Structure 1
C-alpha cells in the first residue's frame, strides 16, 4: 500500500497524546476491531477504547474519526466518525460506537460511515490487497458545536473541522487479509542458541520451564512431572488479565504433549475449560550445529476446530511472540546451566 499521509493535505497543527487498551500503535488490530459485518471471521465491530491528554489550550470539543487511507477507492474508507465530544471528556470506553452510541457522552453523536451505518465498523481489508492502516484520530476543536447535520458524511465533518482544528492525535492500527494463494497456517522462527541440545530440551520438557520462557506474561506457573512421551500432561496457571484484551481472568489449562523425540523435537496442544478444544499446536525443533543448537519454534493452526475459526482470528500467537520466546529460552538455558553444580551440559 502507498504510505500516503491523508493529513498532509490538511492544515498543520500540534499533536497531543492518544492511547488505547484496544489498539497498539502500528500493530495489527484485535479481532474485536475487525468487521464481522463485512464477513471477517471473529470480527466484533467493537470501537476501540481511547484516552487522550495534552490537548491545546482553547480546546472546546473533540471529534474522533477512524479512517483507512489504503482502501481500494479514490477516497479511502471512513469506519467511524463522532462529533461534539465535550472538552471535559478525555476518554471513550471500548464499544462506545455501537448502534446506539451507548458509550458516548452527550451531546456527542455519530455520523454515518462509508458503509452508511451510524456506528463503528471494523477493519476488513480485501483479500490479497496488502496491509491496510486504520488512522484512529482525536481532533481538538475550538468550537463546542461543529455544526454539521447528523446525516453528514465523515468527509464533510473533516472538511468543516479543518478551520477549527487546534490539535490532532493519531494512533494507527493495521490489518491484512491474505489472498487465496497466500493463506498461511503455520509460523516458524529460528535462533541459534549457544547451548547443547540436551540442556535446551531439559527446559522444554520441564513444566516450570514453560512458565519461565513465556513471552506473553500470561503463564503464572506450572505443575506436573517432566514430560517424557506423547500423551503426557501438565497443568499451567494462566492470567489473561496480564494482556487486558479479554475478560477471562485467571484460569488453568492442560498442556498435552503431541510429539516428543528426545533432544530433537517437542510439540503440544492446550486443553482449557472451553469445549471443543482449539487444537492448535506449539512446538520446537532442535538441530545441533556449529556454535550451539539451531532452535526452531513453530505455531501451527492448520488443524484447529471449525468452531474456533468462527471465534478467533488466527494466528493467536504472532511471529513476534515466538521470536521473543526464543530469546527468553536462551537466557533461561544459560541461567539454568550456570546454576548446575557441574556447570556442564549433556547431549
Structure 2
C-alpha cells in the first residue's frame, strides 16, 4: 500500500503518546478486533491510554481509520467525540453498541457501515496489508459541536480548526487470497426496510421466485422456512437461459443456515447425483436508513466431480447485484400490498 500521510493536508498539531494493551504500534490486530463477519472477529474496540497532551486541551476525540480500503475515501471504523479532558484511557470493548465503556458526555458517531459503535477490520482477501490509524485528537473545546448522526469525515472537518495535538498508533490487518476466499462472491445493498421485512421474503418459498434474476424459477411450493434442514420445492425452466437442454425440472432447496433476522443460506438438490453443494445466502445488518443486505455465493465445497464438469462460479457478481435490486423492489411491493 502507498505510504501516504492522512494528516499531510491538515493543520499541523503537536504530537503526544498513545499506547494500547490490545495492539502494539505497527503490529497486526488480534482476532477480536476484526469484524464479526470474519471468522474469529468480534468487533471489540481496542484498549487505549494516552499522555502528554498539549496544554490547553479541553476534550479529546478518538478515531480509527483504514487508509487503504478500496473505496477512494478510506473506511472509518470508529469515531468518539467529546471525551472529557480529565479522561486519558478507554478500556477494551468501550465501543460496543451502547458505548458501555465511554465516559459521561462522550458519544459515538456512525461509522462507515452507519453503526454508532466500533466495527472491526475486514480487508478484502488478497488486497494486501491495510493500515488502521488509531488517533487520539486533543482539542481546544469541551464539545466539538457536531450532531450525533454526523459522519466521521464531518467530525474531522469540525476538528481541523480546534486540534492542538494528535497521538497516533497504527495497527495492520490483511486477509490472504486463499483458495477458500477466492471461491466466494459477496455484494451488498442498503435496503430501506426493517430486517424482518427483508427476512420475510427470504424465508418464503415464493419469495425466492419473486427475487429471481435469472428467469429460471417458475414457481415454488412449501411453507416458510424456520430452521436449518427445512426444505421447499422449486419448479425450474432451464430453457429460460438457453445454455443446457434440461427443459423443465424440479429442485429442492435445503436450508443450511438460518438465524432469524440475521442470516439465511441454502443449497440445492436436483436431479443429478452427487449434489453440487454450492451455497447461496444473505446476511442482514441494521443500518441507518434500513438494512444492509449482503448476498453471497460460495462454491468452496463443491463436489470434485462437478468441478470437472462445470466452470465455477455459475452465477456472476452482477447477477447477485441484480437480485439485491429485485429484493428491494419485492420488499417495497409487499409492504404496500
Q: Does 1:128 align with 2:126?
A: yes
After superposition, where does 1:168-207 map in structure 2 within 5 Å? 168-181=166-179
Q: Does 1:142 align with 2:140?
A: yes
Partner of 1:90: 88
Measured against aligned partners, the alpha-carbon deviations of 1:82-130 in whole angstroms (never above 9, x if no partner) come to 0000000000000000000000001000000001011000111000000
Q: Counterpart of 1:8 in 2: which secondary structure?
A: coil
| Residue 4 to residue 181, structure 1, CA distance change in 2 (3 Å) | farther
Distance 1:47 1:124 in 2: 14
Structure 2: gaps of 5 or more residues: 182-337
Does the CA contact (< 8 Å) of 1:128 and 1:182 recur in 2? Answer: no
Q: Counterpart of 2:32 in 1: which secondary structure?
A: helix
Partner of 2:70: 72
Distance 2:177 2:143 in 1: 44
Partner of 2:185: none
Q: CA RMSD in A?
A: 1.1
Q: Counterpart of 2:170 in 1: which secondary structure?
A: strand
Q: Counterpart of 1:85 in 2: which secondary structure?
A: strand
Distance 1:182 1:129 in 2: 15
Partner of 2:38: 40
Number of residue pairs the alignment of both structures matches: 181
Does the CA contact (< 8 Å) of 1:131 and 1:175 recur in 2? Answer: yes
After superposition, where does 1:1-347 map in structure 2 within 5 Å? 1-36=1-36, 39-181=37-179
Partner of 2:300: none
Distance 1:67 1:58 in 2: 26
Q: Counterpart of 1:78 in 2: which secondary structure?
A: strand
Q: Counterpart of 1:6 in 2: which secondary structure?
A: coil
Structure 1: gaps of 5 or more residues: 184-347
Distance 2:6 2:179 in 1: 31
Q: Please state how far the C-alpha of 1:182 moved relative to its aligned partner.
A: 9.5
Q: Counterpart of 2:15 in 1: which secondary structure?
A: coil
Distance 2:117 2:42 in 1: 12
Q: Counterpart of 1:159 in 2: which secondary structure?
A: helix
Q: Please state how far the C-alpha of 1:3 moved relative to its aligned partner.
A: 1.4
Q: Please state how far the C-alpha of 1:181 moved relative to its aligned partner.
A: 4.7
**TM-score, with length taken from structure 2:** 0.53
Partner of 1:320: none
**TM-score, with length taken from structure 1:** 0.51
Q: Please state how far the C-alpha of 1:73 moved relative to its aligned partner.
A: 0.7
Distance 2:123 2:93 in 1: 21
Runs of 4+ in 1 over 3 A off after TM superposition: none
Q: Please state how far the C-alpha of 1:175 moved relative to its aligned partner.
A: 0.3
Q: Please state how far the C-alpha of 1:180 moved relative to its aligned partner.
A: 2.8
Does the CA contact (< 8 Å) of 1:46 and 1:122 recur in 2? Answer: yes
